Amino acid sequence: MDKLFLQDVLEGLSSQPKTLKSKYFYDDKGSQIFQQIMQLDSYYLTNCEFEIFQDQAAGIINKLNFNEPFNLIELGAGDGVKTSELIRYMLSKNIEFTYTPIDISSKANQILEDKLRADFPTLDIQPRTGDYFKILKELNNTNKPALLLFIGSNLGNYMPEGAQNLVALLSKYLKTNDKLLIGVDLKKNPLIVSKAYFDPEGVTKAFNINLLNRINNELGGNFNLDKFDFYSFYNPQNGEVRSYIISLEKQKVNIGSTHEFKFEKGEDIWTELSKKYDLSELDKLIEREKFELVHHFLDSRSYFTDSLYIKK
C-alpha cells in the first residue's frame, strides 16, 4: 500500500470541503482514460500545443540565441510527442544539444528513452529520475546553457501562490541567460473551455470517477461508483476551471477497517484546478521571478501559448 497516497486521501476527505489531489488520477487505467481525453475533438489543448511545436520549431530555436551546445531539459516529458518536433528540427540542422527528460518514474523515462532512440538514433538523451529540483540543481553546475521545458499547461494546476512558488524555484535553479519555455492555456470563449473539461461523451467523468475506483483497489475503500457523479465549471473572470466528484445521496464510505467518511447528498469532492491565463497575467507572474519575455508562440487560433523567457 502506498502510504503517501493513503495519507493524502485521508487528509483530503477529512477536510472541509473535501478534496482529492489530481496527481493520483494517473494509475494505469487513469493514464489510458487521459489518452482518450486527448483524442476528443473538444479537448483542444494537446492539438494546439502540438501545432506550435510542429509549425514553429525553427522560430523557437532561433529565439534561443544559443551559439554553443546546450542542455534541453524537460520536466515530466510524458510520451515526448510534442518535444519530438523540436528534437527533429534540431537534429536536421545539426544543432548540438543533450536532451535530459526528468521524471519521478523510472519506467516512464525508460519507455521514452527507448522510443526516442528508435526514432532518433543519433540523439544524445540522458534521462534522469527523481525530484525535479534536486536534479535541476545538479544540472545547474555545468557550464552549458539550458532550455527548460515546462509544457502541457501544467502551470494551470497550481493555485496562485503555488504557481508563484514554482516559478521562483525554476528561477533559482537556472543560470543567467538560460531560457524557460512554458506552455499555458489562454482565456477564451467560456463555451470552448467548458466543453474541454465537461465533455458530453463522459470521458472526463470516467477519468475522475476512476480515482474512487483506485482508492477502492489500492486502499481498501468501498465507494459505490454509481452513487457519485462528476461536475466541472469554468469561471471566465478568474480563468479557473474547477472539477468535482458529487455525492448523489447521503451515504457513508469506508477506507480500510478504521476510517469512515460521511457524505451529504450533493456534497462535492474537489479534484482539480485548471487555470487559464491571459498573456499579461502570465508575463507578470513569470517576470516577477527574474525572467524577461522573449516571445509568445501562439497556435493559429490563439488558444494556447508556449512562451519563451530568459533568466536575468
Pairing, β 228-235 against β 240-247: antiparallel
Query: pLDDT by residue (tens digit) across 52-91?
Result: 999 999 999 999 999 999 999 999 887 889 999 999 999 9
The C-alpha cell that represents 222 in the structure block: 468501498
Query: pLDDT by residue (tens digit) across 5-45?
Result: 999 999 999 999 999 999 899 888 998 998 899 899 999 99
Q: Name the more confident of 131 and 303.
A: 303
CA dist 4 and 270 (Å) reads: 19
Residue in 239, 215, 219, 241 with CA at minimum distance from that of residue 228? 215
Q: CB atoms < 10 A from the CB of 250, how many?
A: 12
Residue in 140, 143, 142, 153 with CA at minimum distance from that of residue 181? 153
Query: pLDDT by residue (tens digit) across 195-241?
Result: 999 999 999 999 999 999 999 999 999 999 999 999 999 999 999 99
One CATH from 3.90.950.10, 3.40.640.10, 3.40.50.20, 3.40.50.150 for 49-188+277-311: 3.40.50.150
Q: Where in the chain are the domains?
A: 49-188+277-311
Task: Provide the pLDDT for residue 126.
Answer: 94
Task: Provide the pLDDT for residue 228.
Answer: 98
CA dist 280 and 238 (Å) reads: 13
Q: Name the more confident of 129 and 1.
A: 129
Alpha helices in the chain (DSSP H): 3-14, 28-39, 45-64, 81-92, 106-119, 132-139, 160-172, 190-197, 203-219, 279-287
Phi/psi-derived region of residue 206, left when phi > 0, alpha when psi is between -120 and 50, beta in every other case:
alpha
Task: Provide the pLDDT for residue 139.
Answer: 84
The C-alpha cell that represents 97 in the structure block: 544539444
Angle CA(132)–CA(14)–CA(242) in degrees, nearest 5? 60
Query: pLDDT by residue (tens digit) across 136-169?
Result: 888 877 889 999 999 999 999 999 999 999 999 9
* Residue 134 in this model has a pLDDT that exceeds 90: no
Task: Provide the pLDDT for residue 235.
Answer: 98
For residue 278, name the pLDDT band (cuts at 50, 70, 90).
very high
Task: Provide the pLDDT for residue 142.
Answer: 81
Q: Name the more confident of 111 and 294.
A: 294
Average pLDDT over residues 267-290: 98
47: CB partners within 8 A, 6+ apart: none
* Residue 1 in this model has a pLDDT that exceeds 80: no
Q: What percent of the chain has pLDDT over 70?
A: 100
The C-alpha cell that represents 73 in the structure block: 531539459
Average pLDDT over residues 293-301: 98
